[in-house]
Structure 1
Amino acid sequence: MSINILKEPRDKEYERLIQYAFKTCKTFVLAVQREILIFYPKPKILEELEQYKVNGLKALYYPQINYYNHDTILYFYECNEGAKSIIMQAVMGLYDWRHPYLPEDLTFLDDKGDIWMYSISHENIAGIYERNIDEVEFIKSEIELEIYWRERVYTEAEAMEAITNLHCLIDGYFFLLRANETWTLDERFSNKENSEHYMYWNEYFDEYDIKEHYLAFEIAHLGNLLKLNNPIYAFDFSNLLNEVQNTSYLEQSLIRNIGGNSEILYEFLERFKLKYKKK
């Protein structure tokens, strides 16, 4: 099953997580976008890790690294004491692995080459594929991570269907809102039921009582209020809404679209909380 890491492991939690990962895994992976190398020098830490690089492993497609494309370079390294020391000292938290001065998305593979832990730094997302219930308890009690353990396991296809379905709804409402009044659109979807895989999003919006079409509409509405050319999507909205650490870069990016008027963004988030938060 999948463990979702709810709060970024930092300081001691990060150290304990890395200690355990290096003890139980065989390989770790770091990612660099080719376009970053056009404007910035190659991250220095890659030189430090060069001696631990595993040659011959291909840059495989990993579904959990959901922004993967052919412009991504994946570097594979052996899990050993020397590499562990570098990884532990390089940053203070898991999501500090971020361009342009560091590689991104620290990922650990087990001895079969399967993902044990993945992270998507710029999305503040990370998860672990635990091997047994004892490991879940160890991660909670000894490493002291704040986690959500899914009782319902989604296949890759189911997860992609849930993500795609919600994002398509957001796209649709985003562009419809440019030519329609809010109340007329609200009448159109107020009786629509949730799709089969909407439960996938429970862990991201578990504090809120909101149907799928309403969620898509609200996210699309925010994008229009912020005068964006394209909508933001559910992962970023969840991070903003739940005040996930390290979202300041996203907030500033959104605020720049409205001439620095941050009140529009924050007032919308507060209104959403008042309207949909569970009693």
Structure 2
Amino acid sequence: MIFIIDKNPKNETFEALMDLAFETCTEFHLVLRRDMGNIRALDPILDKFKGSLKEMKLESKWASTILEDDNKAEVYYYHADENAKKVVKELSNSLYEWCLSGPNVLPEDLSFFKDDSVWLVNCAHERESYINTDDEDEIQRLKNIKGLKISEYPR
């Protein structure tokens, strides 16, 4: 089942969603688009995640985007561990803050993976995200997050 996130999760709602994502998933990614300005300015932020880094790949496709014209981005894959959860919560209080444009410049498209499948897809600059799960316990826990506005979208 796909659950569209209808409203940007903020503050306590974002924290509760991150708690569930880090509990449910084994990894997540962050993206630096080379065509979006001085991405090296984000190195201090990436350093905060260093202990959780699995790998960085140059890719033209990730959870929420496919680039054209052979463009590539730096896609950083991380373990969904306690260190990373702490850093995510320190850096942001909203799902749609994870983009290079805006007052709080962060790496793009914080998205999570469970068992090598995308679980939370986030395209922050488009303000679009969804969760992909058929697990009844996860669905119930999503529905119980106070303030989380989701719509069921059958496949």
Cα deviations by residue, 1:195-247 (Å, 9 ceiling, x for unpaired): xxxxxxxxxxxxxxxxxxxxxxxxxxxxxxxxxxxxxxxxxxxxxxxxxxxxx
Cα deviations by residue, 1:19-62 (Å, 9 ceiling, x for unpaired): 11111100010011112354762342101112211037674834
Q: Which residue of the other structure, out of 101, 114, 118, is the alignment partner of 1:115?
A: 118
Deviation at 1:139, TM superposition (A): 0.5
- Number of the residue aligned with 2:27: 27
Letter in 1 for 2:65: N
Gaps of 5+ in 1: 154-279
Taking only aligned residues, the RMSD between alpha carbons, in angstroms, comes to: 2.2
- Number of the residue aligned with 1:103: 107
Quote the Cα distance in structure 2 between the aligned partners of 1:58 and 1:67. 13
Q: How many residues align?
A: 150
CA contact (8 A) 2:29 2:78 kept: yes
Letter in 2 for 1:146: K
Which structure shows the higher helix fraction? Answer: 1
Letter in 1 for 2:2: S
Quote the Cα distance in structure 2 between the aligned partners of 1:7 and 1:113. 26
Q: Which structure has the larger Rg?
A: 1
CA contact (8 A) 2:122 2:129 kept: yes
2:89 match: secondary structure: helix
Aligned residue runs from structure 1 range 9-88, under 5 A: 9-38=9-38, 41-55=41-55, 59=59, 61-62=61-62, 64-69=63-68, 70-88=71-89
- Number of the residue aligned with 2:148: 145
1:102 match: secondary structure: coil
CA contact (8 A) 2:60 2:72 kept: no
**Bigger Cα displacement from structure 2, 12-21 vs 132-141:** 132-141
The higher relative CO (CA closer than 8 Å, separation ≥ 6) is in: 2
Quote the Cα distance in structure 1 between the aligned partners of 2:124 and 2:43. 16
Cα deviations by residue, 1:113-155 (Å, 9 ceiling, x for unpaired): 110001001100010001323322220123541101013x1xx
Quote the Cα distance in structure 2 between the aligned partners of 1:143 and 1:130. 19
Which structure shows the higher strand fraction? Answer: 2
Distance 1:39 1:21, change over 3 A: closer
CA contact (8 A) 2:17 2:145 kept: no
Identity rate, percent: 25
2:139 match: secondary structure: helix
Give the structure-1-normalised TM-score: 0.49
- Number of the residue aligned with 1:132: 135
CA contact (8 A) 1:43 1:103 kept: no
Q: Which runs of 4+ in 1 moved over 6 A?
A: none
